[in-house]
Amino acid sequence: MLSGKVAIVTGSTSGIGLGIANELAKLGADIVLNGFGDAGEVEKIRRGIALEHGVRVVYNGDDMSKGEAVRGMIDATIKQFGHLDILVNNAGIQFTAPVEEFPPARWQAILDINLSAAFHGIAAAVPQMRKQRWGRIVNIASAHGLVASTHKAAYVAAKHGLVGLTKVVGLETAGSGVTCNAVCPGWVRTPLVERQISDMATDKHITQKEAANELLAEKQPSLEFVSPAQLGGTVAFLCSAAADQITGTAISVDGGWTAQ
């Protein structure tokens, strides 16, 4: 379905981003991986995707907290492949603290990576996508892009902002062949969430399994984690012809979290 397409997935050396990159590669897209990690491990991931799916896979290690680096990644991809068709803004970080104790540096870092990086990537990618009259921008937001939780001022603000940015870009590109949508996952067992589970287990003197179940019970009625592969499938759907008229919207994949 995506043969001949080129996709950038930020934050794709692990977790949700890697799941999305795998699903797009499975459908024939060439992939630009981005993210941090051990060089040997990243190369193993890159080579594994390329061999398994028979697509071109390259790695770009640019820092998504720097706007110029984000725009440089877009330009480098277009120069290397000749075009860019799919941009998945997935890179994200987290930090929790009450608002009055929230470190300003942490606030800025979260906004830079979770929100501003998407802005810079979109701004650089849209001209190319308009020119070819086809493009898919998918912003990986969160259930926290639609509702809030305590101690997550920066993350919730950034993800709400990402949903708002999605709506604006959807409107500005409507009718151009370019769509822009947000995917809002609930709890996914990523390294970020693993840390929250570990912290909860330590604080409450319970097991990892008990902490995971408690985390799910608090928010996610399905009592099951969303998988990276399921999110990859959602992104793939948004890249399909069936989604040509879906733009400027937020799709929840959250086990019922935001239905409450």
Residue 17 contacts residue 23 (beta carbons within 8 Å): no
SS3 68: helix
Position 117 pLDDT exceeds 90? yes
Per-residue pLDDT at 206: 96
242 confidence band (pLDDT: 50, 70, 90): very high
Sheet holding 86-89, edge to edge: 57-60, 30-34, 6-9, 86-89, 135-140, 178-185, 250-253
212: which DSSP letter?
H
Q: What is the pTM of this model?
A: 0.95
Per-residue pLDDT at 190: 85
Residue tagged active-site, from 59, 107, 155, 257: 155
Asked whether residue 68 falls in the same domain as residue 168, the answer is yes
Per-residue pLDDT at 234: 98
Asked whether residue 57 falls in the same domain as residue 161, the answer is yes
Asked whether residue 62 falls in the same domain as residue 100, the answer is yes
Give 50-60 pLDDT, tens digit per residue. Answer: 999 999 999 99
The closest alpha carbon to 87, from 95, 102, 77, 79, belongs to 77
* CATH code at position 160: 3.40.50.720
Average pLDDT over residues 158-163: 98
Asked whether residue 88 falls in the same domain as residue 139, the answer is yes
In a domain, 197, yes or no: yes
In a domain, 80, yes or no: yes
- Count of domains for the chain: 2
**Structure tokens, 9:** 């997935």
Domain that holds residue 203: 188-225
155 is catalytic: yes
Position 192 pLDDT exceeds 80? no
* Separation CA 25–CA 48 (nearest Å): 11
Per-residue pLDDT at 191: 79
Average pLDDT over residues 122-135: 98
